Amino acid sequence: MPAVGARPRVLVFSTNGISDMGIDLAGSSHLDYSANVEVIALPCSSGINPNWIVHALKAGFDGVFVAADGPECTFVSDCVVRTGHVVQEAQSLAEKNGFDPGRIKMAAICSVCAEPFVNHMRQFGAALAASSAPAVG
């Protein structure tokens, strides 16, 4: 987890046909979110291997966010369900590997969802930072 006061490192799995455009729009609109957010674009969010997510945590990312296609996916009609299963499996694998499953999140991000993406990054970053803060008392 990040040092106190540091911004968490977040890996985002994005889809190059849908959510990546919304993320790009956030950047081109100069919306502010952490520079510690790194994006990997893939064709479809349901094709993410849960082991990749756990590998990212083992490699030092504080959290992993799956920017899912939602119902607009052009590859499979049940993309949302499939992606949900991927995330659930990744959370289970993370827990088995000693990681808090809350370090993995998913939300549908559309091609014009710049502000929702930024809000997700801010909220997820704050939650990750809070979970690494030392206990008071």
List pLDDT tens digits, range 16-46.
Answer: 888 889 999 998 999 988 899 999 999 989 8
Query: Is the residue at 4 inside a domain?
Result: no
Which amino acid would we find at residue 59? A
pLDDT for position 77: 72
Query: Is the residue at 16 inside a domain?
Result: yes
Query: Is the residue at 2 inside a domain?
Result: no
Here the CATH number for the domain that contains residue 82 is 3.40.50
pLDDT for position 57: 97
Which amino acid would we find at residue 23? I
**Cβ atoms of residues 128 and 8 within 8 Å:** yes
Query: Is the residue at 137 inside a domain?
Result: no
Structural domain of 45: 10-132
pLDDT for position 78: 77
pLDDT for position 107: 93
pLDDT for position 125: 95
| Higher pLDDT pick, 137 / 103 | 103
pLDDT tens sequence across 46-70: 899 999 999 999 999 999 999 987 7
Q: How many domains is the chain partitioned into structurally?
A: 1
- Taking residue 31's Cβ as centre, other Cβ atoms within 10 Å add up to 15
- Taking residue 102's Cβ as centre, other Cβ atoms within 10 Å add up to 14
